[in-house]
Chains A and B, each alone.
Chain A
Amino acid sequence: MSETEIFKALADPTRRAILERLAGAEMNATDLRAGFAITQPAMSQHLAVLRGAGLISERREGRYSHYRIARDGFAPLHDWLGRYRDFWPSRIDNLKDLLREMDQ
């Protein structure tokens, strides 16, 4: 899955909140929706986007679907984060150097 798909999935605050909730444990759709002011179809749509981006996986058990974080799906995001985790400290050092060189 591409970074672009993952970024699109993360663009929505509700989907980010769903991921935070799933970070702790596998949950079914009903439990997952508790506390969110959204309809069941809206929740289904968010879950479909997250699955499409490879960020969560679904497990069927009878009438219930259980959702969990798909750890491997976050690899492109982790690559992106890793790139910029190295990038910014050197830039902040550059900024400190520049501030010393600038006139007041």
Chain B
Amino acid sequence: MSDTESELVFETVLDAPPEKIWRALTIPEYRDRWLRKPDDVSVHLETVNANSLLTYRWKERNEESLVTIELTPHENGGTGFRLTHAPLVIPAAANSNETAPTMLRAA
């Protein structure tokens, strides 16, 4: 880990089609079963692009962060799963000069 690293990325391949994973991520009864969030965290579904991209807004006491999950279908029936957890800024915008589409706090 570098000293200025400020986000976490996890990647894996899931043995299920994107539509099924999507239900596990977005239907609250399913989500609660795998997520088991800490008691002091509240989670809100923030942006959605069905079956491919979602963001949970992650509130923990005073800190807010974003959990972004990207799903990529594979030809063999599996699905690429990429989870990014970062403070405040949509990671895709971090290296551009454009205003991030979802800034949680104004500077």
Contact = CB atoms under 8 A, between A and B. Distances in A.
A12 B63 contact: no
A45 to B, nearest CB: 9
Given A4-B63, A98-B33, A102-B23, A11 B103 contact: yes
Given A74-B3, A92-B10, A94-B36, A102 B24 contact: yes
A99 interface: yes
- What's the dominant secondary structure at chain A's contact region? helix
A13 B85 contact: no
Contacts of B80: none
Contact of A69 (B4, B8, B33, B100): B4
B49 interface: no
A11 B94 CA distance: 9
A69 B3 CA distance: 9
Given A13-B94, A13-B95, A92-B10, A20 B4 contact: yes
Contact of B20 (A14, A22, A99): A99
Contact of A11 (B14, B23, B97, B107): B107
